[in-house]
Structure formats: C-alpha cells, structure tokens
Amino acid sequence: MMGWLTVMIDTTSWDAQQHAAAKEDLQLYKTQLRPLIRDADLYHISERADGVRWDGMEYFDPRSRRGVVYAFRGSTRTEAEHKFLLHGLKQASRYHVGFHDHSASDKILDGHELMSTGLHVRLPIANSSEIVFLEELVGSR
C-alpha cells in the first residue's frame, strides 16, 4: 500500500487466517507507512517501472529520522538481487535497516554506504517484493 488505501475485493470469503493477516497489514499501514507517505520526502530509486526490471521507491522523513524502501522484483529471471542507491540520509549517521518480509536479516549500515554502494535486496522469486524500514541511530557516532 503506497498511497490511498482501498480494498476492492469481497473479503467475506476469507478465512480467519487471511483476515488476521489483513488486519496486521492494515495496522502496519496505519502506524508506520501512512505517516511516511504523508510527511516524508519521496525518492524514485530505480528506472521507470516496466514489470520486468526491479523497481524501487524510498520515503525518508528527516524530522522523524525514519524511512521506508519499497522494493519490487519484476518478472526478470536473471537478476535475483539488486542494489538501490538511497537518498536523503546523513552520510555520517548509522541506520538500522529492517526487512519486514524477512528477505534478509536486519542490519546496521552507514548512510554513506547506503547512498554510494546501495541497499542490497535479494528476492529469489520473480514478481515479489520487500518493505525495508530505515531508522537513523541517533548518537551512534
């Protein structure tokens, strides 16, 4: 969910597990994603989406020192991993990088590294995605 939230399917056929998963994802949207979409700076960190190559968008709010990267792997069969060069971070700061869908372990990375070398995302399945949360670690240096 990257903007206006709408559910355009009949949810009455969902089982309890599907309803619980949807409730959890809606809570994530309301508490963490919506504030970033509303208040953060937006960066397009990939080529224009074409459904084949990787696509990425970054939201980063310098006031809250938090952000999120939406990473999408297209239908490409040859590129299971990708590096996204991030923007809007402080080069000298360190950031907690958390992978919501557990495609990788959480990490602590330097702003300089994230903006020059990039955020490494690995998605072995075509047409899959990951939400990566960023949080500046204040007083880490």
Q: How many CB atoms lie within 10 A of CB 133?
A: 19
Taking the C-alpha atoms of residue 78 and residue 124, their distance in angstroms, rounded to an integer, is 10
At 5 the pLDDT is: 67
At 35 the pLDDT is: 93
At 17 the pLDDT is: 95
pLDDT tens for each residue of 56-91: 999 999 999 999 999 999 999 999 999 999 999 999
pLDDT tens for each residue of 115-139: 999 999 999 999 999 999 999 998 7
At 139 the pLDDT is: 73
Q: What percent of the chain has pLDDT over 70?
A: 95
At 103 the pLDDT is: 85
Mapped onto helix, strand or coil, the DSSP state of residue 27 is helix
Q: What is the DSSP string of 55-82?
A: EEEEEEETTTTEEEEEEE--S-SS-SEE
At 2 the pLDDT is: 59
pTM of the model: 0.89
Q: Strand 41-44's sheet: what is its strand order?
A: 41-44, 55-61, 66-72, 129-137, 94-99, 107-110
At 112 the pLDDT is: 97
Mapped onto helix, strand or coil, the DSSP state of residue 15 is coil
Confidence band (pLDDT; 50, 70, 90) for 4?
low
Burial of 9 (0-12, 13-18, 19+ CB in 10 A): exposed
More confident: 104 or 67: 67
Q: Spell out the domain ranges in the chain.
A: 41-137
Domain 41-137 in CATH 2.102.10.10: no
CA nearest neighbour of 45 among 129, 126, 118, 132: 118
Tokens 């297209």 map to which residue? 74
Determine the average pLDDT of the residues in 3-24: 85
Per-residue tokens: 16: 């309890």
CA nearest neighbour of 104 among 80, 88, 79, 126: 80
